[in-house]
Amino acid sequence: MRAAMRIVAYGTLFLVVTCCTIFWTRFTGGLAFVWLGTAIASALFLALPRAQHFRAAAFLTMMSTVATSLFGFGPVWAFPLALINVFEAWFIAWLLVRIRPERDYIESERGIVWLGLLAGVVGPFAAAIPGGLLVTQIVGGSAQFHTFSWLVGHGLGTLLVMPLALLLTSYREPLVMRVREVGKVFSFSAVVLLTLAISACALLQSTLPSLFLPIVPLVLASYHFGRFGASITVLIITAFSAVTLGLDVGVFAELHLELWQKVLFVQFYLSVLLLISFPMAVALKQRQRFMQELVNREAMQRLIADHSDDALLHLDESGTIRFASPASTRLSGHNAVEGRHLAAFFGTFDRKIVVDALALAARCPGQTEIIERSVERGGQTRWLEAKLRAIEPARKQAPTFVVTIRDVTERKLAEIQISREARTDVLTGLPNRRALLGVLEEQLEFADERPFGFALIDLDHFKAINDSHGHAVGDKVLQQVAGIMRDSASDDCFFARIGGEEFGLVAVGSAVDNMAIICERLRLAILRNVMTDNDGGHFNVTASIGIARISERCSSSMAMQAADGPLYSAKAAGRNCLRFAQHMGHFVPADTNDLPASPLRAIR
């Protein structure tokens, strides 16, 4: 129902405008030199869903046929001309939707350019050829002349009216509501009166060249009232131009041209004014929208910054803080951070890391760089995470930076705890096999430069302990042995539980040369430790140890095999003893009787 009412309304307006333009601007018995109906018909097609286009085309064809029959070439030629006129309007609408589906024909500069090209040139040209040939058959004359007249009259007329027609169809409320706000009624009235006065002075006199004067109220109207103001101002100028043409007075009367040529010139003049004002009005509207969005965004950012636990910063190109949110004071430890370098949030030795991160962000605008460092705050160690990004610079200006800094101590401690748990044996509390392999691989990377010692420690007859005393007692044995190893651990000695009753030792630095003594003390400490079973009985545990000196790069599995061989030798020799590898570098002799005299000499 709504679509039908719109078709009737626009079709009626199309009929009235078409009758007027044919009656008043058909000077030579040929085509009308002003044709505004295409703009109205195209706006109707753009406003309707595609399913309603046929109904609209049929009604418009009927209206065009009536107008041409009454004031044009008569009923014989009215229908074919109507078909061409309606096709032109539909084709323009189809092109606009096809090429600019955003439908921003009066909303953006690019949309206006496409509107001018398609509605003012391409669409009229497509209809001008068949229209010009048909008019040649009706009135004779040159087909080129009639084609050119169609192209110019329809193109300029469509350009002149199309923006206003689209403006009318795009608003859901009457346009007069745009100026009914408090204070705008008087300013709008003033602009209208100024336009009337300047148009009268510019167009009704012919002494001075003054066609540029109407641009002044046009600019004012565009600035204050946007596209609506520009359209109203152009309509007023159009009315004055029509009066001067009709009365043959004013500036257009002095043109040494035929009347139809004057009409085309006036259309061209008015179209230029409209093409000046509409892009300017659109640009101003976009600027106002942008500024409002900027104000809203800034207000939101201020609100977030004032109530956020994170520090929000804006830095200049050198990394100096120009804006800092309230949380910056707490996180930085300074009373004020504006004017300081970003490195003020971190330790003295972290400045180079911060500077390098800023340089990397400046080279890759839009990419986020992350700095995570520990700092001292109030005698406690805290972890800060900084995320920084360079803002895309305008032209050749240096980039600036936006930064967020937050306290991630809880998360970092949780990560450390998770990492520790992942590398810690649950039963004994010693580092696990994964941790041992990590240390082993680190040492193997530089083994040819810094040899190290590696030992495998295996508790003897542990299965018998589990079978005789139960797994609970076996677990206590492992825990007590792990305690002995923790007491023996140092910066140079790293102990770990590999699995089951097997343990590992990595010795570095000065401990490498004392590997035999360290392992013998460990063996004796395990032997002398008295274990208790569930019934209160006591027993002892012994350990066999295989030792290797690693002095060349190899895989961790080869290093394990280097110590595994002497471990089996210790087991074969009766257990509760040490054995040494004969390869992977020089250590002490495999025969423990060759050890220097000491309390550790008795091995069995």
- What's the rounded Cα separation, in Å, for the pair 287 and 582? 83
Q: CA-to-CA distance for 124 and 154, rounded, in angstroms?
A: 6
Integer Cα distance of 46 and 321 in angstroms? 52
pLDDT digits over 296-317, tens only?
A: 766 666 666 666 788 888 899 8
Q: Could you give the 3-state DSSP secondary structure of residue 532?
A: strand
Tokens of 57: 């085309």
Contact assessment for residue 54 and residue 63, using Cβ atoms and an 8 Å cutoff: no
The pLDDT, as a whole number, for residue 428 is 92
Query: 444-483: per-residue pLDDT in tens?
Result: 999 999 999 999 999 999 999 999 889 999 999 999 999 9
DSSP secondary structure string for all residues of 224-253: HHHHHHHHHHHHHHHHHHHHHHHHT-SGGG
pLDDT for res 200: 86
DSSP 462-495: HHHHHHHH-HHHHHHHHHHHHHHHHHH-BTTEEE
Domains of the chain, start order: 1-170 (1.10.1760), 177-306 (no CATH), 308-416 (3.30.450.20), 425-594 (3.30.70.270)
Q: How far is CA 297 from CA 1, 308, 391, in A?
A: 43, 16, 16
Task: Answer positive or negative: Cα dihedral of 455, 460, 463, 465.
Answer: negative
- At residue 603, the pLDDT reads 27
CB atoms within 10 A of CB 175: 15
Question: What kind and span of H or E run contains 322?
Answer: strand 321-324
- Residue ranges of alpha helices (H) inside 308-338 are 327-332
Which pLDDT score is estimated for 306? 67
Ranges of the chain whose pLDDT falls below 50: 171-176, 182, 584-604
Which is it for strands 380-391 and 369-377: parallel, antiparallel or unpaired? antiparallel
Q: DSSP labels for 427-438?
A: TT-SB-HHHHHH
Helix, strand, or coil (residue 405): strand
The identity of residue 141, as a single letter, is G
Distance of alpha carbon 59 from its chain centroid, rounded? 48
Structure tokens at 132: 């010009």
- Residue 105: the pLDDT is 83
Burial of 107 (0-12, 13-18, 19+ CB in 10 A): middle
Q: What is the distance, to the nearest Å, from the Cα of residue 55 to the centroid of all Cα atoms in its chain?
A: 45
6 Cβ neighbours under 8 A, 6+ residues apart: 44, 47, 48
Quick one: tokens of 473?
């007692």
Please report, as a single letter, which amino acid is at residue 469: H
330-333's contacts with Cβ under 8 Å and 24+ in sequence apart are 331/384, 331/405, 331/406, 331/407, 333/375, 333/377
Tell me the helix, strand and coil percentages in the chain, rounded to 5: 60, 15, 25
Contact 544, 576 (CB under 8 A): yes
pLDDT given at position 118: 92
b/e per residue 535-556 (b: at least 16 CB within 10 A): eeeeeebbbbbbbbbbbeeeeb
pTM exceeding the 0.85 threshold for the entire prediction: no
CB atoms closer than 10 angstroms to residue 244:
23
